[in-house]
Amino acid sequence: MTLSNNQRRLKNNAAYASIATAVVLTVIKGAAAFVTGSLSVLSSMADSLADVISSLVTLIAVIYADKPLTCEHRYGYGRAEAVSALVQAAFISGSAFFILYDAAYRVGHPVMLKQTGIGIGVMGISIMLTLALICYQKYAIKRVSSQAIEADNKHYVIDLAANAAVLISLAAVRWLKWEWVDMAAAVLVSIYLIATALKIAKRALEEITDKEIDVDIKARIIEAVTSVDGVKGYHDFRSRVSGNRWFIEIHLEFDGNLTLLQAHELAEQAENKITALYAEAQVIIHQDPVGIEEKRLDNDIIGPCAW
């Protein structure tokens, strides 16, 4: 699928907005962590700093993934977004482990918090900025497919919850004098970040290793192509994802007495049905006479398939 200029601009603007937000959050949280001595605020600042770096990677990936096809890259550059998601996962998990280490150190070396009111105010501002960014990213994702921006969005959704947890912990320290809540919140935020990093990495690796599209989508595609009058069957259906492009390959079976032109026209009808359902799909259909004996990919697949 080729993106329009407006779609490309929307993707780029979403990436720019993410970087700007992350920079602002890093600065204000860093100042708040210095003033208050709060580990939970420091954990949130470390996360925002990782966001700055990962968002820069996202921006580069979005721009690179949208490059036009070339002789050397006929499938495009979509997988740059998957690589970007892996880099994000690494930064997210790295910042989480840093905070866990600091939390373990503070068990034996407690730190008294101060100026918690400033910390509460900064975290309140952080929540509002993060919420605004999430809404804009959701708007962009609805209009253009981007794994990099979607991964960024999921992380900021978790950031929103993490910021709220830090805000609550500071309130508990300020009004209830529960100093331990600050460290507990930092640990919870770190564990949450590690879980998120694993999910992002898993999806990116699935794309890089050519995982098939969802079973439900494949079922709808099969229903569409077999509804074409003249299609007698299908085999060797495989697919892969690269950024905002889907690559679909399928062998359709026709009456062997059809002319090549007739078989081509039926195959084109089937292709049109697929692209009507999924505009991002690039389809290759091979035409076979029904009942022909040949070596098939289906026979080489290990394990049962759901389609």
- Could you tell me what percent of the chain has a pLDDT over 90? 34
R_g of the chain computed on alpha carbons: 25
* Length of the chain in terms of residues written: 307
Average pLDDT, the chain: 85
pLDDT exceeds 60 at position 2: no
Sole residue written with tokens 């947890």: 165
Write the DSSP symbol of residue 297. G
Q: What is the mean pLDDT of residues 132-141?
A: 91
Identity of the highest mean pLDDT range in 10-14, 28-32, 40-44, 177-181: 28-32
pLDDT exceeds 60 at position 176: yes
Model-level pTM?
0.69
pLDDT band at 136 (very low <50, low <70, confident <90, very high): very high
pLDDT exceeds 70 at position 110: no
pLDDT band at 109 (very low <50, low <70, confident <90, very high): low
pLDDT score, position 272: 96
| Euclidean distance between CA atoms 17 and 87, whole angstroms | 19
Q: Which residues lie closer than 8 Å to 261 by C-beta, 6 or more apart?
A: none
pLDDT exceeds 80 at position 103: no
E strand intervals along 136-270: 233-242, 245-254
Q: What is the mean pLDDT of residues 105-117?
A: 74
pLDDT score, position 231: 96
pLDDT score, position 27: 95
pLDDT band at 111 (very low <50, low <70, confident <90, very high): low
pLDDT band at 89 (very low <50, low <70, confident <90, very high): confident
Partnered with residue 249 across adjacent β-strands are 238, 284
Task: State the alpha helices, DSSP H only, in 209-302.
Answer: 215-226, 260-277
Element (H, E) at 307: none
| Euclidean distance between CA atoms 300 and 253, whole angstroms | 19
Task: Please answer whether residues 87 and 54 qualify as being in contact, where contact means their C-beta atoms are separated by less than 8 angstroms.
Answer: yes
Q: 249-304, pLDDT tens digit by residue?
A: 999 999 999 999 999 999 999 999 999 999 889 999 999 999 888 888 888 887 77
Q: 204-226, pLDDT tens digit by residue?
A: 899 899 999 999 999 999 999 99
Domain annotation for the chain: domains and CATH numbers: 5-208 (1.20.1510.10), 215-300 (3.30.70.1350)
